[in-house]
Amino acid sequence: MRRHFTLLLASSILCCCLAVSCGSKKSVPTPSSQEIIVLYENDVHCGVDGYANFAALKNEMKATHKYVTVVSNGDFVQGGSLGASSHGRNIINIMNEVGYDFVTLGNHEFDYGIPRQQELMEALEAECLCCNFKDLRTGKQLYEPYRIVSYGGFDVAFVGMSTPYTINSSTPTYFKDESGKFVYSFCIDNFYEVVQKAVNSARNEGADFVVVLSHLGDEDEGEGGINSPSMIENTYGIDIVLDGHSHSVIPAAIMKNKKGENVTLTSTGTKFEYMGVLTISPNGTFKTELVPTKTYAKTDRSVLKVIDEIKEGYKKVAEQVIFTSDVKLASYDDQNNRLVRNQECNIGNFCTDAYRTVFGTDVAFLGGGSIRADLPKGNVTFNDLYTMFPFENGTCKGECTGDLILDILEFSVSIAPGEFGGFQQVSGLRFEYDSSIPSPVVYDADHSFAGVNGERRVKKVEILNKETGTYEPLDVKKTYTFAASSYMAVDHGDGFAMMSRCSNIQDAGVLDTDIIQNFLENYKKNHVGIEYAGTEGRIKDIK
């Protein structure tokens, strides 16, 4: 869930600026023309309109500053129909027109597969930096860990890094060979050592200042989890971290590194909510500023032209109305709190009902992380549907025992009430759980539940009897049919390795968007009524 650091960012101001001294580097005069400007963003997720503002901000800075560098901290090719329809290439074309210098990889850069990810990085004119993405077959890093740029005798190192949880948060099978063995790694076992090695190497080459392009996020990944704060705490030699992944709005948060020295963490939110401006003086002081994109009126004409051409090509398909709805199907509440990753919500019920109905199964599962946007009340277009389901996930059905259903639900709520992309929205069943029981869940080698101090979080599970329309207690020994995304059931995305215990899995050969359209056309007459106005008590935290 996106976080706003309200002590640093007051809602009444439009622009946030915090100057932080980081010590003396070189005794060099610091006129404005010699200042270094680094423009940064993160988690744009196909929010393409902001690129024209970003390019204009770049032009504005170049008019007054000799040194201007433009960077992205990941998750740019996925998250909307313009990205999904072109498997990311539309976004790369826009970024090339803006003129980026460096990017690092977000976990969603891999959503179209590694071959496509590599094609996109080849097409991107900016350099991709990542110190912790490794090919285990060769033992080599796939991208340069850092790059040092000399700005008039003052050298700045840009170090890139991706969340080591990319393998689970993207599609695990993408990182395996045909035998099921992992052939790619994000160095989760020695992450801090890998980062420190890159920083030390950059310092030894003469870097006066180290800027990290991070896609780690500031959210808690559980006990011992790796994120930007923990990376700062376990390393030294870094001056500032430009962060992504958690969609947080952070003008400047001061943290202590391994040696007790100050490091600044900053992040711009998502979809160009803000544009980041890092100003570095040659004497080693710096400040960060978040510029609200909506109130920045300037745009770049050449970038606007590219965006408009791409939109026009997609317009005919995107604007087609595919159904109407009497209610808003919401993934966020009115306070902009995300719902799908830690609680039952009407859009989750709608999507899983579609899966269960079209496949004719007993139950259906869908990870909340697959649902990326609301569906509006009134006319709903193909673009709305594509924005909700941007991943082009395949779908499947299969069989599983009641005890496996219990384990699936246990893992689903293992970090609740914290957010989890694998939190399962459900259909054909309802259950209760107790979030006060300690987590995380522990599993045996065969991916069966081993328990947390011998106690489960999930306390009660009932399965809908399709003939009587009533709910009955789960039979742990009975075999049930289920529908799910291939991402979860086949690729074991979000860590659902226990799905290897399923049987008779059949690939439907259709995408998640196709399932929704099938459900609407054949079962709903292309209309969603007030039956989805609220929730039904399918998921209850008894705490």
Q: Which of 42-51, 164-173, 524-533 has the lowest mean pLDDT?
A: 164-173
The 8-class DSSP code of residue 169 comes to: H
Stated as kind and residue range, the H or E segment containing 301 is helix 301-318
E strands present in 311-457: 321-325, 363-367, 378-381, 394-401, 424-427, 429-433
Helix axes 50-64, 301-318, angle to 10 degrees: 180
**Per-residue pLDDT band at 454 (split at 50, 70, 90):** low
Strands 394-401 and 503-511: antiparallel
Residue 305 neighbours by CB under 8 Å, 6+ apart: none
pLDDT reported for residue 291: 98
Segment 427-450 mean pLDDT: 76
Amino acid symbol at 31:
P
Q: What is the mean pLDDT of residues 434-458?
A: 69
Q: Give the integer Cα–Cα distance in Å for 132 and 220.
A: 20
- pLDDT of 14 above 70: no
Cα–Cα distance list, 472 to 83, 407, 431, 451, 483 (Å): 43, 18, 11, 24, 19
pLDDT digits (tens, 9 = 90+) for 354-390: 999 999 999 999 999 999 999 999 999 989 998 999 8
Q: How far apart are CA 273 and CA 2, in angstroms?
A: 11
d(CA 468, CA 372): 34
Rounded mean pLDDT, 324-337: 94
State residue 318's pLDDT score. 84
Q: Which helix (H) or strand (E) holds 240?
A: strand 240-242
Query: How far apart, in whole angstroms, are the C-alpha atoms of residue 2 and residue 419?
Result: 10
What is the SS3 string spanning 460-515? EEEEECCCCCCEEECCCCCEEEEEEEHHHHCCCHHHCHHHHHCEEEEEEEEEHHHH
Task: For residues 113-119, give the mean pLDDT.
Answer: 94
Grouping H, G, I as helix, E, B as strand and the rest as coil, residue 252 is strand
Quick: pLDDT tens for 415-424.
899 999 999 9
Distances (CA, A) of 257 to 189, 210, 238, 283: 20, 13, 8, 21
Q: Quick check: 16 pLDDT over 60?
A: no
Domains observed in the chain:
16-313 (3.60.21.10), 319-541 (3.90.780.10)
pLDDT at 171: 72
The pLDDT of residue 3 is above 70: no
